[in-house]
Amino acid sequence: MPPKPKFTKEQIINTALRLVSENGVGSLTARELGNALGSSARPIFTVFSGMDEVRSAVIDAAEKKFAEYSEKTSAYPLRFKSAGMQMLLFAKGEPKLFQLLFMQENSGVKSFDDLFNVLGDFANECIDYIINDYGIEQSDARLVFENMWIYTFGLGSLCATGACDFSESELSGMLGTEFAAMMALIKKDLPPLAEKRRVL
pTM of the model: 0.86
Question: Where is the domain boundary, 64, 90, 105?
Answer: 64
Number of domains the chain contains: 2
What are 28-54's pLDDT values in tens digits?
Answer: 999 999 999 999 999 999 999 999 999
- Asked if residue 2 has pLDDT above 70, the reply is no
Mean pLDDT of the chain: 88
Sign of CA dihedral 24, 27, 28, 32: negative
Say whether both 52 and 111 belong to one domain: no
More confident residue, 196 or 49: 49
Dist. CA 143–CA 193, nearest whole Å: 7
Binning the chain into helix, strand and coil, the percentages to the nearest 5 are 70, 0, 30
- Tell me how far apart the alpha carbons of residues 118 and 63 are, in angstroms, rounded to a whole number: 14
Q: Examine the domain organization and report whether 108 and 192 are in the same domain.
A: yes
Specify whether 77 is located in the same domain as 54: no
Query: Quick one: 37 and 116 in the same domain?
Result: no
Q: Within a domain: residue 168?
A: yes
Angstrom distance (rounded) from CA 67 to CA 82: 12
187 lies in the same domain as 105: yes
- pLDDT for 162-194, tens place per residue? 999 999 999 999 999 999 999 998 877 545 444
| Domain containing residue 24 | 9-64
pLDDT at 151: 96
